[in-house]
Structure 1
């Protein structure tokens, strides 16, 4: 009987070990039950929290941002965008499966000045063992700029070629729906002039390309003005000229974003940016 009692005590002690471990480390309990959707949502939440608190080093850990060629460039641009961030709040509206290995997060961004909400969609992808937010040029725009652009769309006004060279973009091949960025520049007036060339390689077909002045913010490319050009300009021929107006405002540390609006063709682009 004593031996049996001793064995019983051993069994009880062994059973107590996992209970003690789970008590000491409660986070382990149910860890295997966390779904990919929950992990993906947590990554989006971590990114938003870091971005809103100005913790750039932490924000970078939770994103894959294709707009930048290096992490150093990404960090510097994020730091610059914190002081000019147009949004007072960001909140997750929903997160749904997009494929077997990705999700789409819908995030509402509330503007500081007007309270209006801009909605952006972020792919959430798995990189190694971590789910990350994919930022690849999502755009936002306030209503004032939208109305100004609508008024400008019916005008064919073009300024004489301005004298101050602000930057360049290309020579690049831009796939359908994708974008190319110029160097960063500061505006000298509430408009820029663009001379450029755009052509579908090996074709004489005209193509639609959108030229936008944007700020590469931590949440999106915030659009300050844009102009569409439909044309085919020989690579060694005469350049087109167009103007992008920015609703009476000038901006610093912005980019010209060149977007191929053609759904089926790659377009070759290059050009220069001027200010008065």
Structure 2
């Protein structure tokens, strides 16, 4: 997710000289330097010291170790933006000090192509300028919406994990085309563009997906026959349960860090 965010920022015109990062894995670090021309800090402490805005993109499982390392370098002049699933602003404020300025964010990997969807929520000490900065950063890689913190686990389940659901759907559409005799490359291209085109139509028209679906379903036609199968096999309920499972896991991650 960190690389997707970095690439998205650079594609959106963010100056490379203003971007610094730290990566403990040497091979990964060299790859990032060569691929993006970024400046790698010597360690997390050095990174925090030279930065006004810090994006925390580590794994939740090593959060405590990372925060303990950088705690002394933090001060009230720095804004921390966390993209860690399940970790609340209160948890971060408790670790860094009650006056820490923290924004919790949940972006998703389509940010890599400038088509991300991010939800943001402010901590107790976030200023109007912090709000503007965070909004601007995430709007360079897609859309950014502010939500209440109690909704962030649901955001993780929907838009955070959602791209993987869509990739699975595209894969299944492609397989269906191959099963019915299409070449793999043709089936893949048709499946991808069908999903992109349908999503674009929903966005551009503002019409409810159900209404757009009805426009495709002719009486006794091919599409309504397929929709019947999807309903019988429980696609709708399955997708809702998938979002619920990811949401639950996000909550669990937060509890593990309390």
Q: Return the TM-score normalized by structure 1.
A: 0.23
1 or 2, which has the higher helix percentage?
2
Higher Rg: 1
